[in-house]
Amino acid sequence: MENKHLQQGEYDQFRTFLEQQCGIVLGDNKLYLVKSRLAPLMARFNVESLSELVSKTLSPHERQLRAAVVDAMTTNETLWFRDQYPFDLLQSKLFPEHKDLRRPLKIWSAASSSGQEPYSIAMSVAEFQAKSPGVLKMGAQIVGTDISNTMLDMCKHAEYDSLALARGLSAERRKKFFKDSGNGMAQVIDPIKKLTSFRHLNLLDSYALMGKFDIIFCRNVLIYFSPEVKAKIIAQFAQALNPKGYLFLGASESMSGLSTEFDMVRCNPGIIYQKK
């Protein structure tokens, strides 16, 4: 099947489409990424070239194709307990701070991908409750959102192959929080799944229906957005947080110049942002 090169004009049109649909800004040098992500869709949608695929994607009538393209371009690599320090901070600082809460602790994983982050948070809750019984009396409610329906289906199913399980998960946690489901696959156990729920959300849209949270995770996502979109998203996170609520960004991400609604809290290691 011909994999005809995208012309610069076509690539520029596609970049504009992607930014308008989901806020992701592709640099001048990301053509290879577009090719690798979209090439598998050519056979599925019976098109002969990437050029034709992009051309069809730009048509408002091609809803199924447009959704599949956004899906393909927004799927990110992830792993269990990524960077480790956010999950250590939950157990050492944030959970104890909420010990007198008379309702469930509400946590939002704002780009849940295939589920590793929200389930890592849920496992952290279970570990903390085992060590400190009676502290988080009402437990926790963890909501995972993503723009990709494919990823959300994976989150809800909560079944992972040996390759995914090997990324960041200790043997102890695998034994404690998963049940084998055959063929090298393992599924998250029900008590952990019950702490979580998942829903579709585009971070460019309103968060009003999400309710209020005590802690928000939005890590390694803002790097894909323009400064204007980053500032808008952070302002919406501030609205969605309870007073003194916490926001986790990625290790390489900063709020500098984007918001005055948060105080930076230096931890050792890592940084978190607390709503003023």
Query: Residues 183, 55: one domain?
Result: no
Query: Residues 66, 193: one domain?
Result: no
Query: Residues 171, 96: one domain?
Result: yes
Its domain, for residue 40, covers: 8-74
Query: Residues 131, 254: one domain?
Result: yes
Query: Residues 38, 138: one domain?
Result: no
Please report, for residues 33, 212, 227, 259, the alpha-carbon distance to residue 256 in angstroms, rounded to integers and kept in the order given.
Answer: 28, 24, 10, 7
pLDDT, residue 184, reads 82
pLDDT, residue 31, reads 84
Query: Residues 182, 90: one domain?
Result: yes
Is 15 strand, coil or helix? helix
Sorted by sequence, the CB contacts under 8 Å of residue 61 that are 6+ apart come out as none
Strands (E) located in the chain? 105-109, 140-146, 159-160, 178-182, 185-188, 196-200, 213-218, 241-249, 262-266, 271-275
Query: Residues 138, 262: one domain?
Result: yes
Query: Residues 98, 227: one domain?
Result: yes
Query: Residues 153, 222: one domain?
Result: yes
Instruction: Report the distance separating Cα 20 and Cα 251, nearest Å.
Output: 27
Task: Report if residue 79 sits inside a domain.
Answer: no
Task: Report if residue 3 sits inside a domain.
Answer: no
Domain edge (last residue) among 74, 106, 129? 74
Task: Report if residue 80 sits inside a domain.
Answer: no
Instruction: Report the distance separating Cα 250 and Cα 26, nearest Å.
Output: 19
What per-residue string of b and e applies to 178-214 under the rule 16 or more CB within 10 Å gives b? beeeeeeebbbeeebbebbebeebebbeebeebeebb
Model pTM above 0.75: yes
Task: Report if residue 234 sits inside a domain.
Answer: yes
Query: Residues 141, 208: one domain?
Result: yes
pLDDT, residue 141, reads 98
Instruction: Report the distance separating Cα 174 and Cα 262, nearest Å.
Output: 36
The domain that contains 243 carries what CATH number?
3.40.50.150
Task: Report if residue 2 sits inside a domain.
Answer: no
Query: Residues 68, 129: one domain?
Result: no
pLDDT, residue 4, reads 55
Instruction: Report the distance separating Cα 254 and Cα 256, nearest Å.
Output: 5
Instruction: Please give the structure tokens belonging to residue 260.
Output: 């005055």
Q: Report CA Rg, the chain.
A: 20
Query: Residues 29, 125: one domain?
Result: no
Task: Report if residue 43 sits inside a domain.
Answer: yes
Task: Report if residue 220 sits inside a domain.
Answer: yes
Across the 276 residues of the chain, what is the mean pLDDT of every consecutive 10-residue run?
68 90 81 86 89 90 88 80 95 94 96 95 97 92 93 95 89 96 92 97 94 96 88 96 96 90 92 96
Task: Report if residue 119 sits inside a domain.
Answer: yes
Domain edge (last residue) among 22, 40, 74? 74
**Looking at the 3D structure of the chain, how many domains does it have?**
2
**Structure-derived torsion over alpha carbons of residues 120, 123, 125, 128, reported in degrees to the nearest 10:** -120
The domain that contains 41 carries what CATH number?
1.10.155
**Residue 150 CB neighbour total at 10 angstroms:** 15
Domain edge (last residue) among 39, 74, 109? 74
